[in-house]
Amino acid sequence: MKETQFLPRNYSNNIACGEVAWSSPSNIALVKYWGKKKYQIPQNQSISFTLDACKTKTKLHFEKKDQNNDGFSFDVIFEGAKNEGFKPKIETFFKRIDAYLPFLKTYHFTIETSNTFPHSSGIASSASGMSALALCLVDLEKQLIASDASLEEQDRSVEEDYFVKKASFLARLGSGSACRSIEGDIVVWGEHDEIEGSSDLYGVRYLEEVHENFKNYHDTILLVDKGEKQVSSTVGHDLMHGHPFAKERFGQAEENITKIKAILKSGDLKAFIALIESEALTLHAMMMTSMPYFILMKPNTLEIINKIWAFREETGLHIGFTLDAGANVHVLYPENEAEEIYEFINTELVAYCQNGHYICDRIGFGACKL
Ligand code: PMV
């Protein structure tokens, strides 16, 4: 699909006001996206587990404006209180998607949103937040297009496919990784020769064979630092322009998609851990070797990593970690070892979390309409 296919169709329904609501999850990348071209096009392919517990719930109330369709008009209510802080990001998002949803300026929106994970937990809410909002908007667009009751089953599934792709396409324009938050349980973003249907424009569900070992995979998120990041992802992505290792890194990510495809099929957990840990450390190595350089890990991030390595060595259990663009540690492990590993996390790792806080999550099935 090309960008032009997401341009609007005929809106034949006139809707004065109404409401839509969606819940959308966060995701954790296994092969990381770091570096982008214009229009949020990724420099390399990425693959992620969709999460189950960390979600944003968004209710979009819309009301036709009487006049003045020049600008965007919206209010944001975050966790029950009016919020001005999110408005600039949403305004930028609306500007980017205006061409694809030209009804935006004709409505006043009230965006009521909340997260299932604690506010300021250091967990990026942009993936779940932007995908939930994108889903609400595509849902509204669907209502504006007169539905054709005579549609055959096959055409209906084409419509559904379009809905999901457009939601992912728009979410990408809000925050790159958000395009991987529409569906579950594994999603690829970025065109790759070995992933059929993959695209730079939107995330696609990973439909290749996946071994039982990865069913119900756990992700315990250790909240090492709940503060605001010192360097935003936007700045970090930008620093990949002219980065001395950029070319090698983008090539490596492409190869890692090929490698992880074989791993997901074979169920080789040792190879899985080696790949995801290397990806996590490479992401942070890119930050440390950009100009200006920066470090998002904290002393406790390293303490946790070392503890995980020692425990793995000692027990032979398949515990591994990955990192986002922050200090928190995502501890990944299979369902059949969950009991012992969870016990270890509770007794040995929680001490390194800020106020002892962590979130138990696992691989999940994507967004849903509320
Ligand atoms: O979606 P952004 O622009 O916030 O970038 C996120 C990048 C990482 O989370 C570090 C990696 C990824 O692929 O999700």
323 alpha carbon to ligand 1 midpoint, in Å?
A: 10
pLDDT band at 229 (very low <50, low <70, confident <90, very high): confident
222 forms beta bridges with 329, 358
**Residues of 80-107 as b/e, b for ≥16 C-beta within 10 angstroms?**
eeeeeebeeebeebbeebeebbebbeeb
Q: Which atom of ligand 1 is nearest to the CA of 283?
A: 10
Q: Which atom of ligand 1 is nearest to the CA of 177?
A: 1
29 alpha carbon to ligand 1 midpoint, in Å?
A: 8
Rounded CA separation 206/188 (Å): 6
Q: Which atom of ligand 1 is nearest to the CA of 176?
A: 1
**Best mutation site among 24, 28, 34, 182 for ligand 1 pocket (most ligand atoms within 8 Å of CB):** 34
The overall average pLDDT reported for the chain is: 94
Q: Which residues line ligand 1 (CB under 6 A)?
A: 29, 32-34, 46, 124, 126, 175-177, 233, 237, 283, 324-325
177 alpha carbon to ligand 1 midpoint, in Å?
A: 5
- Is pLDDT above 70 for 56? yes
34 alpha carbon to ligand 1 midpoint, in Å?
A: 7
What pLDDT, on the 0 to 100 scale, is given for residue 155? 77
- Is pLDDT above 80 for 149? no
Question: Are the C-beta atoms of residues 59 and 19 closer than 8 Å to each other?
Answer: yes
Q: Please, where are the H alpha helices in 290-352?
A: 299-315, 338-344
Average pLDDT rounded to a whole number, residues 62-82: 92
pLDDT band at 70 (very low <50, low <70, confident <90, very high): confident
Question: Are the C-beta atoms of residues 319 and 305 closer than 8 Å to each other?
Answer: no
Residue 237's nearest CA partner among 36, 47, 89 is: 36
Least confident of 53-62, 110-119, 329-338, 347-356: 110-119
Q: Per DSSP, which regions of the chain are E strands? A: 17-31, 36-37, 41-42, 46-64, 73-78, 81-82, 107-115, 186-189, 203-205, 218-222, 320-323, 329-333, 358-362, 368-369
pLDDT band at 66 (very low <50, low <70, confident <90, very high): confident
HEC string of 39-99 equals HHEECCCEEEEEEEEEEEEEEEEEEECCCCCCCCEEEEEECCEECCCCHHHHHHHHHHHCC
What pLDDT, on the 0 to 100 scale, is given for residue 157? 84
Higher pLDDT, 9 or 126: 126
pLDDT band at 231 (very low <50, low <70, confident <90, very high): confident
Q: How far apart are the first and last CA of the chain?
A: 28
358 forms beta bridges with 222
263 alpha carbon to ligand 1 midpoint, in Å?
A: 23
pLDDT tens-digit readout, 168-225: 999 999 999 999 999 999 999 999 999 999 999 999 999 999 999 999 999 999 999 8
3-state secondary structure of 24: strand
Query: Residue type at 19?
Result: E
User: In the structure encoding, which two tokens stand for residue 78, read together?
Assistant: 């975050």
178 alpha carbon to ligand 1 midpoint, in Å?
A: 8
Rounded CA separation 210/205 (Å): 12
What pLDDT, on the 0 to 100 scale, is given for residue 119? 67
Rounded CA separation 337/140 (Å): 44
What pLDDT, on the 0 to 100 scale, is given for residue 94? 98
pLDDT band at 226 (very low <50, low <70, confident <90, very high): confident
Higher pLDDT, 232 or 229: 232
144 alpha carbon to ligand 1 midpoint, in Å?
A: 32
**Best mutation site among 54, 177, 328 for ligand 1 pocket (most ligand atoms within 8 Å of CB):** 177
Rounded CA separation 339/214 (Å): 16
| CA-based max dimension of the chain | 69
pLDDT tens-digit readout, 265-309: 999 999 999 999 999 999 999 999 999 999 999 999 999 999 999
